[in-house]
Amino acid sequence: MRHLLAIDDLSRDDLEEILDLTSSMVEVSGRSIPKVPALRGRTVVSLFYEDSTRTRLSFDSAAKRLSADTMSFAVSSSSISKGESIRDTVETIEAMGMDAIVVRHGYSGVPAQIARWTQASVVNAGDGWHQHPTQALLDSYTIRDHLGDLEGRRIAIVGDVVHSRVARSNIEAFNRLGASVVLVAPPTLLPSALSSWPVEVTEDFDSVIPELDVCYLLRIQRERASEALVPSLREYTARFGLTAARARRLHSKALIMHPGPMNRGVEIAGDVAEQDNAVVAEQVANGVAVRMAVLFLLLGPGRAGAASQSVFEPVGIEEI
Amino acid sequence: MSEPVQLPLRPGGDEDVDLVLRGGTVIDSSGERRADVVIRGRDVVAVGEDLSGNDVIDVSGCIVAPGLVDLHTHLRQPGKEEAETIESGSRAAALGGYTAVLAMPNTTPAIDCAAVVREVLELGRSACCDVHTSGAITVDRAGDRLAPLAEMAALGVKLFTDDGAGVQDDLLMRRAMEYGRGLGVTLAQHCEVASLSAGTCMHEGEWSARLGLPGQPAEAEELMVMRDIALGRLTGARLHFLHMSTAGSVALIAAARASGMDLTAEAAPHHFTLTDACCADYDATFKVHPPLRGEADVAAISRALADNTISAIATDHAPHCPEDKELPFEQAPPGMLGLEYALALAITQLVDGPASMSLADVLARLSWQPAAIARMERHGRPVAPGSPANLCVIDPHHTWTIDDSGGASRSRNVPYVGREVRGRVRHTVCEGVVTVRNGEAQQ
């Protein structure tokens, strides 16, 4: 694995390898000193064209727990705000000898473009409506952690699919790991051409609730109502919100998930978000471990076709 | 109102030299025959067997045809000279076999008044091919107020368009058609309903869904085709539809023509060659308006060219600097180069492809039919004594691989890199002047 740009690039074996390694990283993260020298001497730079404190911090702590040096290219205070092109910025970073570039951009495809311009490994930390692969990995890990396995699991992804990079990556990941995915949304919040997607589609949230192992809620942005994609947030909540009444009809072991930040009272009722089976905080915690696994695979001794043994029992992960 | 101005013709060929194209096969609107062609000054003076002169070019095995005519060329001057100039764009045109191009008005400033028309035509006089210009329908192509069509028509502008955008306002378009009909000019539309296409960067379909890019449906084009056909019926204006890209548009044009309406349409090489799958790597070289469509649309455009529903191939040659094409896909400007590739793509896709067109039919779409649409009287004429010497010589057997150099263009946004194509321009003669000789531009 040279870059992590999209879940599409990963096979089921690749996904399971990352999730298995994530377990080791969770163990590392639980130690009294949660830091190993695996990536000592490596440098990871984050290049966030779109604000995301959560994801940036998560990648930053993942890199630091592996002893990588980390840097952040602050978009607002740098040459970028003076009109420097993405390519020139990347070539500047390249000239400084960075090993990995973690990219977040509001437009789809920018990480793929950057990967053409650099020798460094590129990690997509979210691009436009396209992909957010580490989110899909941490979500898959969280489900696996609770349910043992995704094979044969029934997962609903509810809400604004068309504008969601989380949906696009999770559909791919869940499907590859053997789950059956149903999208719950009005046609205005779905891509118009879906026939090649490995999903079922329904507008009837209530009908699928009892059969779910996982109920995954997407964030709905408030401006969608003004774009005539939904008549109002009130109507959205009535049809597609996980209200307390709907939550009661979920199987008791079904997981409630959300990529955050949540709009309480819109896509998820405030009380429902506090239920034991709502694992939103765990998703965040697992995010650090998943990103450690990804960075380790890209930059650590396990990269570039090394024997898989070194991945499952990672060389360099030891107490310091 | 300015007086009608007769701009002088560009310089012609040498009156003292008989230039002979010897040993070729002439193909023009009157048919196909083996013949030598003698050129003196700016005219063809003899066509026949075993002719001689003092400058003889051996064109055996080649086709001698009327020079190609491009109805849709973005020359970028004035305003964006780092991407293209009239000089560089016309050189690319000559290398592609063109003897005339029609400049699009989306320059900076827009070609929306006599002063800018005059500037473009004057720069065009020393170019490598005849440079005609369209004029904008509305002031600054903003879609608010009618531009001074008559003062531009007086300078020879025969086709008006806001290309780059469609005229959105129904009433304004009606007025433009009525006023334009009175002037005897053609109204040409870039068909795209802005409210359906705002913020989009590619065709809406499986690929846009997967790539997470906002797509525009085929209907964004087809609704405006439909509206303009209706307004054309109302006003009686002469209409031309630019860069048709969908099967639905083809059906609308075919039905309107069958009902007897006076309208024409063009298609661009990329719309009969490339599909939206090309956008898979987010390379904005493949971003264009109207966008690359699906395979069924590509097939429909090819068939429409074959059955003459679409009677012209127009390049929509749209140079952009590399740094602009390296922006995020959604931000990058739309457009791709075409002048040096159109002929070879047409032969490769339309003659050798499933449409199975004859070479003569392809040349009709590239030369004399577009010349008639733009009413360029000196172009597309049969190769006969007394005709203007606007000719190209094509080696139909030459296969070559398109590279990323961009040719003579100042830009390099070539979407066909690595594609093997058939047919290459060997020589081009514009008003008796050899502008391309043995594949080399002479100026």
B217-243: pLDDT as tens digits: 999 999 999 999 999 999 999 999 999
Question: Does A196 lie in the same domain as A122?
Answer: no
Give pairs for A269-276: CB < 8 Å, separation 24+. A269/A241, A269/A242, A269/A243, A269/A244, A271/A244, A272/A242, A272/A243, A272/A244, A272/A247, A275/A247
Is A319 part of any domain? Answer: no
List all residues 6 or more positions away from B356 whose beta carbon is below 8 Å from its beta carbon. B306
Mind listing the pLDDT tens digit for each residue in B113-138? Answer: 999 999 999 999 999 999 999 999 99
What is the C-alpha to C-alpha distance for residues A121 and A291, in angstroms, rounded to an integer? 14
Residue A220's CATH number: 3.40.50.1370
State whether residue A86 sits within 8 Å of chain B by CB. Answer: yes
Question: Does A147 lie in the same domain as A196?
Answer: yes
> Does residue A16 contact residue A145 with C-beta atoms inside 8 Å?
no
Strand partners, A202: A184
What is the C-alpha to C-alpha distance for residues A63 and A15, in angstroms, rounded to an integer? 20
SS3 (DSSP) at A142: helix
What is the C-alpha to C-alpha distance for residues A131 and A68, in angstroms, rounded to an integer? 25
Determine the pLDDT at residue A79. Answer: 66
B324 is catalytic: no
In percent, the amount of chain A with pLDDT more than 70 equals 92
The closest of A200, A262, A212, A210 to A237, measured between CA atoms, is: A262
What is the C-alpha to C-alpha distance for residues A306 and B142, in angstroms, rounded to an integer? 60
DSSP secondary-structure letter at B285?
Answer: G
B240: phi then psi, degrees, rounded to nearest 5: -135, 135
Which CATH architecture is the domain B67-378 placed in? Alpha-Beta Barrel (3.20)
Q: How confident is the model at residue A73 (pLDDT cuts 50, 70, 90)?
A: confident
Question: Does A296 lie in the same domain as A188?
Answer: no
Determine the pLDDT at residue A299. Answer: 96
Question: Does A164 lie in the same domain as A108?
Answer: no
What is the C-alpha to C-alpha distance for residues A137 and B10, in angstroms, rounded to an integer? 66
What is the C-alpha to C-alpha distance for residues B307 and B45, in angstroms, rounded to an integer? 34
State whether residue A104 sits within 8 Å of chain B by CB. Answer: no
Determine the pLDDT at residue A316. Answer: 55
Whether A78 shows a pLDDT value over 70: the answer reads no
How many CA atoms, within 13 angstroms, populate the side-chain half-sphere of residue B185? 27
What angle in degrees, to the nearest 10, is found between the helix axes of A86-95 and A110-117? 50
Q: How confident is the model at residue A242 (pLDDT cuts 50, 70, 90)?
A: very high
State whether residue A122 sits within 8 Å of chain B by CB. Answer: no
What is the C-alpha to C-alpha distance for residues B142 and B137, in angstroms, rounded to an integer? 9
Q: Is the peptide bond before A133 cis (omega within 30 degrees of 0)?
A: no
Is A212 part of any domain? Answer: yes
Whether residue B330 and residue A195 make contact (CB cut-off 8 A), yes or no, is no
Question: Does A179 lie in the same domain as A246?
Answer: yes
Q: Count A/B contacts: CB-CB distance under 8 Å.
A: 67
List the single residue in B209, B323, B330 with the smallest CB-CB distance to A191: B209
Segment holding A293, helix H or strand E: helix A280-299
Other Cβ atoms closer than 10 A to A228: 8
Task: Indicate the residue type of A144.
Answer: R
Is A296 part of any domain? Answer: yes
State whether residue A219 sits within 8 Å of chain B by CB. Answer: no
- What's the structural domain count of chain A? 2
Mind listing the pLDDT tens digit for each residue in A95-137? Answer: 999 999 999 999 999 999 999 999 999 999 999 999 999 999 9
Whether B156 shows a pLDDT value over 60: the answer reads yes
Question: Does A194 lie in the same domain as A94?
Answer: no
Question: Does A222 lie in the same domain as A148?
Answer: yes
Selecting among B316, B324, B361, B395, the annotated active-site residue is B316
Q: In whole angstroms, how far apart are CA A248 and each of A158, A202, A217, A272?
A: 17, 20, 16, 9
Residue ranges per structural domain of chain B: 67-378
Chain B residues lying within 8 Å of A196, measured CB to CB: 206, 210
Chain A residues lying within 8 Å of B200, measured CB to CB: none
Determine the pLDDT at residue B2. Answer: 46
The closest of B79, B84, B80 to B317, measured between CA atoms, is: B84
Question: Does A144 lie in the same domain as A98?
Answer: no
Mean pLDDT over residues B371-386, rounded?
98
Q: Regarding beta strands A214-217 and A255-257, do their DSSP bridges make them parallel or antiparallel, or are they unpaired? A: parallel
Domain of residue A165: give its range.
Answer: 133-282
Is A317 part of any domain? Answer: no
Exposed (0-12), middle (13-18) or buried (19+): which is A304, by Cβ within 10 Å? exposed
What is the C-alpha to C-alpha distance for residues B437 and B443, in angstroms, rounded to an integer? 10
Q: How confident is the model at residue A53 (pLDDT cuts 50, 70, 90)?
A: confident
Determine the pLDDT at residue A77. Answer: 62
> Does residue B212 contact residue A108 with C-beta atoms inside 8 Å?
yes
Question: Does A173 lie in the same domain as A263?
Answer: yes
State whether residue A81 sits within 8 Å of chain B by CB. Answer: no
Give the ipTM of the model, two decimals please: 0.92
Question: Does A38 lie in the same domain as A141?
Answer: no
What is the C-alpha to C-alpha distance for residues B384 and A319, in angstroms, rounded to an integer? 90
Determine the pLDDT at residue A309. Answer: 39
Determine the pLDDT at residue A306. Answer: 42
List all residues 6 or more positions away from A156 whose beta carbon is below 8 Å from its beta carbon. A181, A182, A183, A184, A205, A208, A209, A212, A214, A215, A216
Mutate to test the interface with A, among B207, B321, B326, B331 (most CBs of A within 10 A): B326
Record the tokens describing residue B78, joined without a space: 């004035």
* Secondary structure percentages of chain A, helix, strand, coil, to 5: 45, 15, 40
State whether residue A53 sits within 8 Å of chain B by CB. Answer: no
Whether B6 shows a pLDDT value over 70: the answer reads no
Record the tokens describing residue B220, joined without a space: 């964004």
**E strands of B223-380, at which residues?**
238-241, 263-267, 312-313
List all residues 6 or more positions away from B267 whose beta carbon is below 8 Å from its beta carbon. B243, B244, B245, B301, B304, B305, B310, B312, B313, B314
Mutate to test the interface with B, among A105, A107, A132 (most CBs of B within 10 A): A107
Q: Regarding beta strands B63-66 and B391-401, do their DSSP bridges make them parallel or antiparallel, or are they unpaired? A: antiparallel
Question: Does A141 lie in the same domain as A28?
Answer: no
Q: What is the mean pLDDT of chain B?
A: 97
Name the H helices within B282-378: 295-306, 322-325, 342-346, 359-363, 369-374
Cα torsion B237, B242, B247, B248: sign: negative
> Does residue A108 contact residue A127 with C-beta atoms inside 8 Å?
yes
Give pairs for B384-388: CB < 8 Å, separation 24+. B384/B30, B384/B44, B384/B47, B385/B43, B385/B44, B385/B45, B385/B46, B385/B47, B386/B43, B386/B44, B386/B45, B387/B43, B387/B44, B388/B42, B388/B43, B388/B44, B388/B431, B388/B432
Whether residue A191 and residue B208 make contact (CB cut-off 8 A), yes or no, is yes
Chain B residues lying within 8 Å of A192, measured CB to CB: 204-205, 209, 215, 217
Q: Global pTM?
A: 0.94
Whether residue A193 and residue B205 make contact (CB cut-off 8 A), yes or no, is yes
Mutate to test the interface with B, among A50, A75, A86, A110 (most CBs of B within 10 A): A110
Segment holding A127, helix H or strand E: strand A121-127
Q: How confident is the model at residue A1 (pLDDT cuts 50, 70, 90)?
A: confident
Determine the pLDDT at residue A305. Answer: 44
Whether B87 shows a pLDDT value over 60: the answer reads yes
Whether residue A110 and residue B212 make contact (CB cut-off 8 A), yes or no, is no
Whether A158 shows a pLDDT value over 80: the answer reads yes
SS3 (DSSP) at B175: helix
